[in-house]
A and B are shown apart, each in its own frame.
Chain A
Amino acid sequence: MTKLIPDEAPRRREGRGFWRKVWAVLIKEFIQLKRDRVSFAMIIMIPLLQLLLFGYAINTTPRNLPTAVLLQENNDLTRAILAALQNTRYFKVTELPKTEAAMDRLLASGKVLFAVEIPANFERAVRRGDKPAMLVAADATDPVAAGSAISALGMAVQTALKHERAVPDSVQMPFEIRTHARYNPAGKTELNIVPGLVGTILTMTMLVFTALSVTREIERGTMETLLSMPITPVEIMLGKIIPYVFVGFIQATMIVLLGVFVFGVPILGSIWSLALLSTLFIASNLATGYSFSTVAQNQLQAMQMTLMYFLPNILLSGFMFPFAGMPVWAQWIGEAMPLTHYLRIVRAIMLKGSSISELQYDALALVVLTLVTMTIAVTRFRRTLD
């Protein structure tokens, strides 16, 4: 016959044992995470995929931009300019329109992203030292690409002129480039994107992990056992959040390392400040996800809430559009989101070399938002099955 209870009762520790219970849940969560291969793959794959996809889409050295060139005169010099454009490999001259109207149509339809017009009597004007104007029209919906292409254009044309000996070597820029950026006159620097990705990737993955943690226990029925045991909502919450702080930290490290070594993003500020504030941001997202989990009825609802939260985060945090350009009401929404503050922090530390004391407003905002969401989560957590 088997025995259910030991002859001698096992000894129990004295006191509340707060951290001991947190530890118990933490170990359990780690084991479960280890067994869940899909989640495990997500930890590695989401940052990797996002970073590589976004990263290469924003490649700072565009290649083969489809370009139209309108030649109002045809001579050795203009042919040399055409060849020089091709040689930069920035441009790929795909069209040679005959009129300005035809050129505009090509640009509007998106067949070309770049249009260069060399006016009549260009060569004569250059030789006379009149500084004639080359007209350049760029589709600046992709401002990054347009910006670097325009500077490459200037260099290419000058090289061509020197090669044809149209001007003495001593003369710098014997022509002017009259740029006309269409569709999006303001351009932003590409370096913004990689630090921004640290924030968005962490928001997405951290939310998804904890948003499911409570609803999963309810759906699987394990919540009934958990609630019948001597453990409090705060202990459960911390036990469930802390493992993912580590996970988030690994992800953040991965993204930053890739950013530095693959995309050449600098870290001008202190790496320790970055680590500290990133940990705070991770905890904030975990608390948010966890509070969704206490509100949602099931895992599907929790996922839907996560998506609904994620969208304004992307749009209003300053990740995609400049924060300063948003209307005031949108800025207020943005201020209420951890991502907004973290984006300022991560960009400032990595790109401007700011210190924590310069970022205290945003750091404090993160602390407050984390505490508020944790309080909501603990009060919303149902201690009973009522």
Chain B
Amino acid sequence: MSAPAVSQSGAEDIAIDVRHLTKTFDGRAVVRDLSMQVKRGTIYGFLGPNGSGKTTTIRMLCGLLTPDSGTGTCLGYDILTETEKIKSQIGYMTQRFSLYQDLSVRENLEFVGRIYGIEKPAAAARAAIERLGLSGREDQLAGELSGGWKQRLALGACTLPSPQLLLLDEPTAGVDPKARRDFWNEIHALAADGLTVLVSTHYMDEAERCHEIAYIAYGELLARGTVAEVIAASHLTTYTVSSNDSSVLARLTDELSSAPGIDMVAPFGASLHVSGRDKDALEAAVALYRGRKELDWKPSEASLEDVFIDLMSKAKDNFQ
């Protein structure tokens, strides 16, 4: 392995280790100085708003894009010079369905099997159809499947060669909650067996199912760690204020939004989440409203969503 041993914990335990990745399209930096490590056997959530550079980063990891600068390894192989080796060990599921629409389910799976050198591609495809619950649809053209089944097929195709690393780009977009839960149960079972999964998503509940998460906005990695670590690192102080009178809350939202020391106000049913980065300033702002009888103030913990919205608005101030 030609890659420098950049991690302390040893290359064996690390599936992805990249440093200072930068990618520019037409003079616009899409990914800036991004470093991240993903341990083997973990489910790593990749979060961030649209156009934040998630897809670009995933494509750099699997050799579909060449970084302008930076180094790194994926499964111990150099992402700049050993992309062919990386490709034979990963499964990449694209954001947009990108199998052959004019091939049937079975033909698509057999094609993948042959490319990866599976000994009996027809048998492997048959087994995959069985496992994925696609029986009865194997001769249907991929283009004629509904969205949920297309997603199922795409997953089946990228897991068919039993890769060591799965790169999933928004795999559950537009999938119903039941299928989403099945998917996550399965991902956890796979990770327990040692498979590493990098999954990008917009959903907060999915982020909370990951072992670790990274939040990326405007091409920059803004936070990473376990969910608890990310929340703690945000240094957000949060209060929940509730009231029985919804009109009171609506008026309060406007007032609090412009109050100094309060950075975020978000309605959640019959209550508001009020957060601030500076604890003292927030306390001072809240103190003015504490006396009002119709309001019930409680200190609470910032949610992951609070943290991300805050990170995003901070990043926006810095970059735009």
**A binding-site residues for B, Cβ under 8 Å:** 1-6, 9-13, 17, 20-21, 23-24, 27-28, 31-32, 35-36, 220-225, 227-232, 384-386
Q: Contacts A221-B94, A384-B65 known; A21 to B114 CB distance under 8 Å?
A: yes
Asked if residues A224 and B94 are in contact (CB atoms below 8 Å), the reply is yes
The distance from the CB of B142 to the nearest CB of chain A, in whole angstroms, is 10
Asked if residues B182 and A2 are in contact (CB atoms below 8 Å), the reply is yes
A341 to B187 CA separation, bound complex (whole angstroms): 60
A29 to B159 CA separation, bound complex (whole angstroms): 23
Q: Contacts A6-B162, A11-B119 known; A28 to B107 CB distance under 8 Å?
A: yes
What is the total of A-B residue contacts with beta carbons within 8 Å?
Answer: 123
What is the number of residues of chain B that contact chain A, defined by CB distance less than 8 Å? 53
Asked if residues A225 and B94 are in contact (CB atoms below 8 Å), the reply is yes
Asked if residues B100 and A222 are in contact (CB atoms below 8 Å), the reply is yes
Asked if residues A222 and B98 are in contact (CB atoms below 8 Å), the reply is yes
A residues in contact with B90, CB < 8 Å? 228
Asked if residues A225 and B117 are in contact (CB atoms below 8 Å), the reply is no
Asked if residues A3 and B131 are in contact (CB atoms below 8 Å), the reply is yes
Q: Tell me the chain B residues, 109-131 only, with Cβ under 8 Å from chain A.
A: 110-120, 124, 127-128, 131
Asked if residues A229 and B100 are in contact (CB atoms below 8 Å), the reply is no
Asked if residues A230 and B64 are in contact (CB atoms below 8 Å), the reply is no
Q: Is B87 an interface residue (CB 8 A)?
A: yes
Asked if residues B116 and A12 are in contact (CB atoms below 8 Å), the reply is yes
Asked if residues A35 and B102 are in contact (CB atoms below 8 Å), the reply is yes
A residues in contact with B124, CB < 8 Å? 6, 10
Asked if residues B120 and A10 are in contact (CB atoms below 8 Å), the reply is yes
Asked if residues A228 and B65 are in contact (CB atoms below 8 Å), the reply is no
Asked if residues B101 and A231 are in contact (CB atoms below 8 Å), the reply is no
The distance from the CB of A130 to the nearest CB of chain B, in whole angstroms, is 79
Interface string of B151-177 (1 = CB under 8 A from A): 010011101111000000000000000
The distance from the CB of A297 to the nearest CB of chain B, in whole angstroms, is 15
Asked if residues B98 and A225 are in contact (CB atoms below 8 Å), the reply is yes
The distance from the CB of A369 to the nearest CB of chain B, in whole angstroms, is 30
A residues in contact with B185, CB < 8 Å? 1
A residues in contact with B159, CB < 8 Å? 4-5
Q: Contacts A4-B190, A32-B102, A385-B65 known; A229 to B114 CB distance under 8 Å?
A: no
A36 to B103 CA separation, bound complex (whole angstroms): 11
Q: Can you spell out 6 A-B residue pairs with CB atoms less than 8 angstroms apart?
A: A4-B132, A11-B118, A21-B114, A21-B117, A221-B97, A221-B98
Q: Is B133 an interface residue (CB 8 A)?
A: yes
Q: Is B52 an interface residue (CB 8 A)?
A: no
